[in-house]
Chains A and B, each alone.
Chain A
Amino acid sequence: MNSRVLLKPILTSLLAFILAAGLGLALRWAFVIDMPVWFDYKNIQHAHSHVALLGWLFAIFCLCAIHFFDLDFGRYARLYWALQGCVVGMLLTFPIMGYASLSIIFSTAHIVLSYFLAYRIWKDVGGRKKDDGVSVLFLKSSLFFMVLSTLGTWALGPIMAAGLKGSALYYASIQFYLHFQFNGWFIFAMIALVLAIFEKRGIAMDPSKIKLFYRLLLLATLLTYALAITWSTPYFSIFVINSIGVLLQLLSLVVFMKLLYDQRQNIRGVFSDYTYRMFGIAFLALVFKVVIQTVVVIPALAEVSYTIRNFVIGFIHLLMLACLSLFALGCIGRVFQRSLHIYGTWTFISGIVLSELLLFVQGIMVWQGWGIMSNYYLMLASASALILLGIVLIFVDLYGKRRSITESSISN
């Protein structure tokens, strides 16, 4: 697939990432100084999460799917730009009005357009050669979860109309969306992309083990939604459902690691140093995520995990930044067959590590009653600044090199 046609789309997704990081920095800065009157924390937070999730992660994962599954971007160009247009709309409306008519129109439009995109990818990627490999299965599953998750957002309409805003059902719906976006769509897409690369390079994995891995992960993903319910409905039976899901997830990870380990020599040769490192850190973050979810099976710890805000924020960003975003950067490197800006990358990673450490360490300190670090909020904001700086450096470098990228014809 000719990578040069993906340059502009990928640059726009990185731009969205910059904006999201900037909004995130502003949110953290709000704890350091008194923000001006027009700065509405809630509204800015909405803008931050929507731009980050939809303008960056959603966009880059779709672009990578198109690239690594050899789809024709020409068939997706209009959809892609329309989707990013909706993100711009959200960026402009959320900070001003929060969740109101206009911002809801843009976010709803994004959902509807995403259905068309998912359908088209599903059609384009299926029904090809019989020996298409399990990567397609994972990709189709990821699209299924992408669509399934939006049921949560649609449910919000009737729930709010019934005057149940702020109720347990309301939060259960939001968590439904988030859970199946994060653990369904993005995780399955990430695995699909990796497997697609392996298949193209002729790395054959034990088919029965892969099938087992798929089934374990699928079931685990469905069951672990239960944790989100326990927050409002802490029945023992629901904790048990989640625990089973977590156990299956742990098993699936073990199977996956065995699969990778069996092919470790071949796998190393497939990736550039840059991509290998990014994927490696992303995988480490994924392992952390699974370990944390396993530990949180203990109801007392589950309670801690959502009463201490540090852990909530830390966990989300472990997945979004340390895992998914680093993985995406590794993919971009592979698409353009180059390392992204090295200083930018390390600044970005340092920011993430610092942020996560601060959040988790302070979270533990709160839990144990050990007080607060001095200058905690300032340090947290500085970590956000590093994250922003890193992405800016990466973007500027890629943008600066755009001529040399578009001039050479690159194949996968």
Chain B
Amino acid sequence: MKKIFIFALLAALILACGDKKESPSEKIKRERKEKAEKQASQVDNGLGIGEITEVKLNDPLDQDMVKRGKAIYEMKCAACHKLKGSRVVGPSWAGLTSLRKPEWIMNMITNVEIMLAEDPTAQKLLEECLTRMPNQNVSIGDARDILEFMYQNDLDNPTK
């Protein structure tokens, strides 16, 4: 039984490395080159990829939005993101609003899969965290509330 299994495994490996027009490693190299060229041609403007192209910020912050945003944070975000201190599952939100543009943040929340697939900053974070942020199905209005809460959080917990 074991011999059959080993034989089958070897056969599968040999078949997988079969004679094709473009070998798998060549294909991967070509795709990587194309991807790098595509990314170089796109100017990373830090806005992220998604529906959000411009966010109007409030000064002073809208406290109703902050309250709603906090409630959503506690339910959908707190399991992975802390408000201050270091990263747990996902990055901490300390100083987030100074670090990232508001458009990026909202695109990250509302367009997670595309961001993880194509945005260079998101991909760098993914390499550090190794856990893929799941799509929490947050509406744009809710994401805006979360963003307001983030601004409040950075006021409450200023990073040195």
Contact = CB atoms under 8 A, between A and B. Distances in A.
B2 to A, nearest CB: 8
Contacts, number: 60
Interface in B1-55: 2, 5, 25, 28, 32
A30 B88 CA distance: 7
Nearest to B116: A166
B86 A35 contact: yes
B85 A371 contact: no
B136 interface: yes
A257 interface: no
A153 interface: no
Given A37-B86, A372-B78, A307 B132 contact: no
A373 B85 CA distance: 22
Interface residues of B, number: 30
A366 B129 contact: no
- Grouping DSSP codes into helix (H, G, I), strand (E, B) and loop, the A interface class, with mixed when no group exceeds half, is loop
B88 A371 contact: no
A75 interface: no
B88 A31 contact: yes
A163 B32 CA distance: 9
A162 interface: yes
A166 B123 contact: yes
A371 B71 contact: yes
Contact of A41 (B75, B86, B136): B86
Contact of A171 (B28, B85, B132): B132
A39 interface: yes
A201 interface: no
Contacts of B132: 166, 171
Interface residues of A, number: 27
Contact of B75 (A42, A166, A171, A371): A371
Contacts of B61: none
B28 A306 contact: no
B130 A166 contact: yes
Interface string A377-389: 0000000000000
Interface string A358-383: 00000001100111100000000000
Contacts of A165: 127, 130
Given A31-B88, A41-B88, A41-B89, A166 B127 contact: yes
Interface string B140-157: 000000000000000000
A211 interface: no
B114 to A, nearest CB: 14
Nearest to B83: A34
Given A162-B28, A166-B130, A171-B132, A372 B74 contact: yes
Nearest to A151: B9
A371 B137 CA distance: 16
Nearest to A313: B79
Interface string A37-71: 10111100000000000000000000000000000
B10 to A, nearest CB: 13
Nearest to B75: A366
A169 to B, nearest CB: 11
Interface in A1-59: 30-31, 34-35, 37, 39-42
Contacts of A39: 86
Contacts of A307: 134-137
A310 interface: yes
B65 interface: no
A309 interface: yes
A122 B5 CA distance: 14
Interface in A152-197: 162-163, 165-166, 171
A30 B123 CA distance: 25
Nearest to B74: A372
Most A CB within 10 A of own CB, among B79, B88, B129, B135: B79
Contacts of A171: 132
A42 B91 CA distance: 11
Contact of A306 (B75, B127, B134): B134
Contacts of B134: 306-309
Nearest to A36: B86
B85 A166 contact: no
A122 B2 CA distance: 10
Contacts of A40: 86
Given A366-B75, A371-B75, A372-B78, A166 B89 contact: no
6 contacts: A31-B78, A34-B82, A41-B86, A42-B87, A122-B2, A369-B75
- Closest 8 pairs between A and B when the two form their complex, measured CB to CB: A34-B85, A307-B134, A372-B74, A309-B79, A41-B88, A366-B75, A166-B126, A162-B28
Given A41-B89, A307-B136, A371-B71, 13 more contacts: A30-B88, A31-B88, A34-B86, A35-B85, A41-B86, A306-B134, A307-B135, A309-B79, A366-B75, A366-B79, A369-B75, A371-B75, A372-B75
